[in-house]
Structure 1
Amino acid sequence: MSFNKTVFLPVDPDAAFALITEPERLRRWKTVAARVDLRVGGDYRWTITPGHAARGTFTEIEPGKRVVYTWGWEGDAQLPPGASTVTVNLEAVDGGTTVQLIHEGLTTEQEVGHAEGWNHFLERLVLLATTGDAGPDEWSAAPDPIDELASAEASLAVAQRVLQGLKDSDMVARTPCEDFTVDGLLDHLFGSIASIGTALGVTVPDRPTASPEVRIAEASQVTLEAFRARGLEGGLDMGFAELPATLVANILNLELLVHAWDFATATGQELAVSPVLSDYVLGLARNTISPQMRGASFAEETLVDESAASMERLIAFTGREVAGI
């Protein structure tokens, strides 16, 4: 069985090729995180939605015309990485480019599921190419099932959406984090992610001159991929102490989701967070922030109405004022 669909994009073939191959553009319509080695024989890993990563190898590449890659899912015995093939053909037409996607090597059941997925994401691709913004992906909002790593990936999706909205003039804005401007908080967030990556044994890339979204996305992708490969068992040497891996994952969740709120609040952006995610991360926060941490890493919990949403209660639990939400 195979899936075959063609859509029209109002951009030239080179721009269309970039949209389907470059991590920064893939994150805007198809993936939460993306690693791409764009050469024949090179591999890729795309976190399509939290908890679900596709992997494969590029077998044909003709910039602006065609790309072919193998496809499968991490941890899926029925369709493992490399088990099927995706071909994307680009053709220049009047006013833009047609994008034909063919997914071969699927069972009947797999074709049904992948058709739903490709239809969803191709619709987002068309929206991005047409309007410049595909919007937040509802499929990444509420992981099911959810665990510490799936929630961290969902939190990353939220954070990246806010980071994409930052402007150069926002860098000097004060944030709800005492003593931090937006620029300073970006350095802090990168440092936190990089320290976790180092503990996981990977080198975290840093491009300070890249956009805030690219800088944090690249660091997070490397760190989360390493965390996925390692798992949540045992402890991690964080340099200052060995911590349970689950606790380190909790910290990563808080860094991504709470600081996303900080950036949004500082720059007047709307923060879209599913209650499923904020409920879960609030639970992680309660298991992470001990009374001994108050006054040092976290201020005292602030008060909110009992009817407040879980995101507001999470923010209050970290010691931030939420009256302006």
Structure 2
Amino acid sequence: MTIDKSVFIPVDPDTAFALITRPERLRRWQTVAARVDLRVGGEYRWTITPGHSAAGTFTEIEPGKRVVFTWDWEGSKAPAADASTVTITLDSVDGGTNVRLVHEGLSPEQAIGHTEGWNHYFERLVTLTTTDDAGADDWAAAPDPLTELVSAEATLAIVQHVLRTLTHADADKPTPCEDFTVSELVEHLVGSITGIGKALGVAVADQPDAAPEVRVADAAQPTLEAFQARGLEGTIDMGFAELPASLVANILNLEFLVHAWDFATATGQDLDVSPVLTDYVLGLAHNTISPQMRGKSFADETLVEESAASMDRLVAFTGRQVLAN
């Protein structure tokens, strides 16, 4: 079966082409993370929602006009030859661009799910191009089922959304993470992700002059992709110690979600996180932060009401002061 869908967006075709092919643009409306080798024969991998990544190969590329690529879900049991094909055509029209998507080679069952998906994400594309912000993706908020790595992708989506709004004026603001300004905390977060990536055998290329969201995303994408391929069995040599792989994944969750709270608090942003996710990460925190780590990597736990939201209980457990509302 074939899906044929068109939308109008109020941007020129070159801008539209960037929105559908460049990782930093895709993250604004469709993906949590994206790897793109934009050439004929090049491969892509898009984490659409936590735990669900699409992958394929570009077969035709006309910048500003058209792109064609194969489409399959990572982990699909279908043979590669059975992958479907997506064609996106961009036509310049008065006031913007008509974006037409044709997704061919789907089974009737696949067509139902993919129609819902393309409707959802094209609606977000229209919102982005008309308001400059598609907002956080509800579909990424509370994945089910949750695992350490699926949760890491969900918490990555949250910290990226917070970082996207940072400006140069925020750089020197203090954060709840003791002794770190916003810019210093960005360096810490990039360094932590890069260190885990290195332990997983990934060479992470940092761009110090890039925007904070881009730096974190560019470090996190290959790190999480390598982690997904490796799995959670056994241990990982972190250089300073051999740690259980599951513990390293827990650390990524805490780095993403707790520092998202730090950045949001420092810059006056509201942080809207599903309690399903914060409950899960709070459980990971209890399995990760030992008494021996207090006074070193983490301050002593602070007090909050037992009835406090799990996000507040999480950051209090990591040693942060939670202000009463």
Per-residue deviation at 1:87?
0.2
Equivalent residue runs for 1:130-141 within 5 Å: 130-141=130-141
- Percent sequence identity is 72
Quote the residue 2:319 is aligned against. 319
Equivalent residue runs for 1:54-73 within 5 Å: 54-73=54-73
Quote the residue 2:171 is aligned against. 171
Quote the residue 2:209 is aligned against. 209
The CA RMSD measured in Å over matched residues stands at: 1.0
Quote the residue 1:142 is aligned against. 142
For structure 2, the residue ranges without an aligned partner over 5 or more in a row are none
Could you tell me how far apart the structure 2 residues matched to 1:102 and 1:66 are? Answer: 11
Residues 201-252 of structure 1: CA distance to partner in whole angstroms, max 9, x if unpaired?
0101100100000000000001000001101110000000000000000000
Could you tell me how far apart the structure 1 residues matched to 2:81 and 2:54 are? Answer: 7
Could you tell me how far apart the structure 1 residues matched to 2:79 and 2:322 are? Answer: 45
Quote the residue 1:157 is aligned against. 157
Would you identify which runs of 4 or more consecutive aligned residues in structure 1 move more than 3 Å? 78-82
Does the Cα contact within 8 Å between 1:141 and 1:273 map onto a contact in 2? Answer: yes
Per-residue deviation at 1:324?
4.8
Per-residue deviation at 1:81?
8.5
Residues 131-162 of structure 1: CA distance to partner in whole angstroms, max 9, x if unpaired?
10000000000011110000000000000000
Residues 39-82 of structure 1: CA distance to partner in whole angstroms, max 9, x if unpaired?
00000000000000000000000011100000001111147597
Quote the residue 1:269 is aligned against. 269
The question of 1:249 aligning with 2:269 is answered: no
For structure 1, the residue ranges without an aligned partner over 5 or more in a row are none
Per-residue deviation at 1:177?
1.1
Could you tell me how far apart the structure 2 residues matched to 1:183 and 1:97 are? Answer: 37
Per-residue deviation at 1:296?
0.7
Quote the residue 1:187 is aligned against. 187
One-letter identity of the residue aligned with 1:142: A
Does the Cα contact within 8 Å between 1:13 and 1:97 map onto a contact in 2? Answer: yes
Per-residue deviation at 1:272?
1.4
Give the match's secondary structure for 1:195. Answer: helix
One-letter identity of the residue aligned with 1:125: L
Could you tell me how far apart the structure 1 residues matched to 2:79 and 2:115 are? Answer: 15
Give the match's secondary structure for 2:72. Answer: strand
Give the match's secondary structure for 1:172. Answer: coil
Cα 1:169–1:234 change in 2 (3 A) is same
Does the Cα contact within 8 Å between 1:74 and 1:81 map onto a contact in 2? Answer: no
The question of 1:129 aligning with 2:123 is answered: no
Residues 11-35 of structure 1: CA distance to partner in whole angstroms, max 9, x if unpaired?
1100111110010010010000000
Bigger shift: 74-83 or 142-151? 74-83
Could you tell me how far apart the structure 2 residues matched to 1:18 and 1:180 are? Answer: 35
Quote the residue 2:223 is aligned against. 223
Could you tell me how far apart the structure 2 residues matched to 1:171 and 1:234 are? Answer: 39
Could you tell me how far apart the structure 1 residues matched to 2:18 and 2:303 are? Answer: 47
Quote the residue 1:51 is aligned against. 51
Give the match's secondary structure for 2:240. Answer: coil
Could you tell me how far apart the structure 2 residues matched to 1:218 and 1:208 are? Answer: 11
Quote the residue 2:6 is aligned against. 6
